[in-house]
Amino acid sequence: MSMNLFGMDMKIDMTGTMAVDKPGKKLFTVITGSSSGFGETVAMNEQMYLINDTMYIKGEVQDSGMDPNTWYKQVLPATDLSAMWTSQDIGSQIQILLDSAALQIVGTESIGGVQCYKLKINPNMDKFMSYLGASGSDLADMGIANAAQAFKQLDVTIWVSTASYLPAKMDMALGLNVDSQGQTMTITMVLSQTFNKVNQPVNITLPTAAQNAVTLPA
């Protein structure tokens, strides 16, 4: 993701892996990357587990004041916990994205050994805003009231299995302008997600070191 704010360029590069066990109420993510801007580059390296209602986190979190070598934990309030699980319901999010959208099958491709239909999607903007809200990216908080005017680019491609119709990959590129403090901030984002073992069991185990995590204040 790149941003231009008050004439300054900022860039965030991230690579992440996620495993979700929704019936077991367990989740694991690991994120690595860097953010650069205002003359400095900051590394990002974070592991996070969600076990029932407790979040465990370790890594380099900018301006957090946390030791990057120490595990921390926090019990999430019910509202935050509900929002967390809603943001991981990929199937429902993709369905929101497809609702009222114009679809075009542009061919077939193999993704990770899975034969897929390649679909170009022209989303309905109201539905797209609902999709962003469901995935935890509420652009209304950034002052965007009219999506059609804010978005200058929105390209979405989804690959779905020809056998199961389950998603295998989704690419998204978007560009938008946001008014902030009388200035215009330009944001460009390129996102690529690959899905595997959908609807299959996954084993998520909290590391031994995290079992003695330091409790963060509520």
pLDDT level of residue 146 (50, 70, 90 thresholds):
low
Under 8 Å between Cβ of 209 and 33: no
How large is the angle between the packed helices 90-98 and 125-134, nearest 10 degrees? Answer: 170
Rounded distance, CA 167 to CA 95, Å? 11
Three-class secondary structure of residue 217 per DSSP: coil
Residue 133 amino acid letter: G
Percent of the chain surpassing pLDDT 70? 79
pTM, two decimal places: 0.75
Which domains are seen in the chain, by residue range? 2-215 (2.50.20)
In this prediction, residue 66 carries a pLDDT of 79
Residue 51 has pLDDT above 60, yes or no: yes
In this prediction, residue 197 carries a pLDDT of 86
Under 8 Å between Cβ of 32 and 193: no
Under 8 Å between Cβ of 22 and 13: no
8-29 tens-digit pLDDT: 566 777 788 999 998 888 999 9
Helices (H), the chain: 78-87, 90-98, 125-134, 147-150
Stretch among 31-45, 108-122, 129-143 having the lowest mean pLDDT: 129-143
What residue has token string 């120490």? Answer: 70
- Pull the structure tokens for residue 24: 């077991």
Rounded distance, CA 138 to CA 151, Å? 14
In this prediction, residue 32 carries a pLDDT of 87
